[in-house]
Structure 1
Amino acid sequence: MKIYRLHKKQNLPISKSQAWEFLSSPKNLKTITPDYMGFNILSGGDKPMFAGQIIQYIVTPVLGIKTKWVTEIAHVVDGEYFVDEQRFGPYALWHHKHFIKEIDGGVEMEDIIDYKLPMGFLGQLVHPILVKPKLEEIFNYRTNKLEELFGKY
């Protein structure tokens, strides 16, 4: 069983409260997700984030195949971090930690995603040619979009 990790950090010239307000609102996920992914919240994104919150999405990650994705906000420490975990969707495991830390002149945002692909050995074969590059592309888009919205650090 191979578990992969994607680790990203980004600094933004905004306050911790601004960062938390934006990042902890499920409706803002659409803003920082590439348009081609067809990201759409079906339910659960209409309330402020809380532990136990279930959010259902439709995404089109590859080859135009629409996929339902259900996540649960497993942990929240207001203003500091939250964790979302996939309950149903394209991964065998998806555990995404979001941290926000105050730094001089802004905030450091850190994402740590631990994930496992379905289909055993076949999943491991497609990881370096399809999954890893796609995740890198999505998070690079996110980085650029956040800089566009809030400025460069």
Structure 2
Amino acid sequence: MKLFSLQRRQLLPVPAEDAWAFFVNPANLPLITPPDLGFRITSPLPERMYAGMIVSYTVTPFAGLPVTRVTEITHLEEPFFFVDEQRLGPYRFWHHQHLFRPVPAGTEMTDLVHYALPLGPLGLLAAPLVQARLEAIFAWRRAALAARFGSAEQAERLENEVEKIRC
């Protein structure tokens, strides 16, 4: 089994508590998912996520074909990280860490995804397409978060101003 990974960092110019509150509300997931994925939650949701929580949903990642996916929140340590793992769906393996770190300008958020594709050698042939699709999904997510919380440039300006005050 070949394991692939994708890592993305984003600086959000908001306190860690605000970033955390947004991400642990599972109802916000559609707000950071590209509309062309046809993302639709099919299970009841609590107001806040918790370790052991199961979420089922459908997506249409390729050619308009709907896929059912079930994920479990396997680890959660407020306000630092949570992990979702696929229990049913298109990947042979999916492990997604969401990490939050307070920084002077707000919150550094890191996504670290490890995944494996099904179907052995046939799945490996699709790897470049899957990688490109994941890159596009995370690029869209980055833009959606920047629109919601502010851009990295705003965060960097704030960080520089804080640094000037310290000096």
- State the TM bucket, normalised to the shorter chain: over 0.9
Instruction: Tell me how far 1:44 sits from its aligned partner.
Output: 3.9
Alignment partner, residue 132 of structure 1? 131
Instruction: Tell me how far 1:97 sits from its aligned partner.
Output: 0.3
2:108 and 2:114 mapped to 1: Cα distance? 20
1:5 and 1:98 mapped to 2: Cα distance? 14
Instruction: Tell me how far 1:45 sits from its aligned partner.
Output: 2.3
Aligned-partner SS, 1:31: helix
Aligned-partner SS, 1:30: helix
Alignment partner, residue 51 of structure 1? 51
Alignment of 1:142-153 (within 5 A): 142-152=141-151, 153=155
Q: Which has the larger radius of gyration?
A: 2
2:150 and 2:96 mapped to 1: Cα distance? 25
Instruction: Tell me how far 1:25 sits from its aligned partner.
Output: 1.4
User: Which stretches in structure 2 are left out of the alignment for 5+ residues?
Assistant: 156-167
Alignment of 1:109 onto 2:103: no
1:56 and 1:4 mapped to 2: Cα distance? 23
Deviations 1:48-107 (A, max 9, x none): 111100000111111101010000000000111000000000100000000000011110
Deviations 1:17-63 (A, max 9, x none): 10001111111110011101110111142331111000001111111
TM-score of the superposed pair, with normalisation by structure 1: 0.97
Residues 44 and 53 in structure 1, CA contact (< 8 A), matched pair in contact too: no
Higher strand share: 1
Give the aligned residue type for 1:60: T
Residues 27 and 45 in structure 2, CA contact (< 8 A), matched pair in contact too: yes
Alignment of 1:8-19 (within 5 A): 8-19=8-19
CA RMSD of aligned residues (A): 0.8
Aligned residues: 152
Residues 27 and 47 in structure 2, CA contact (< 8 A), matched pair in contact too: no
Give the aligned residue type for 1:13: P
2:67 and 2:33 mapped to 1: Cα distance? 15
2:102 and 2:127 mapped to 1: Cα distance? 34
1:69 and 1:12 mapped to 2: Cα distance? 28
1:68 and 1:47 mapped to 2: Cα distance? 22
Moved more, 29-38 or 45-54: 45-54
Alignment partner, residue 161 of structure 2? none
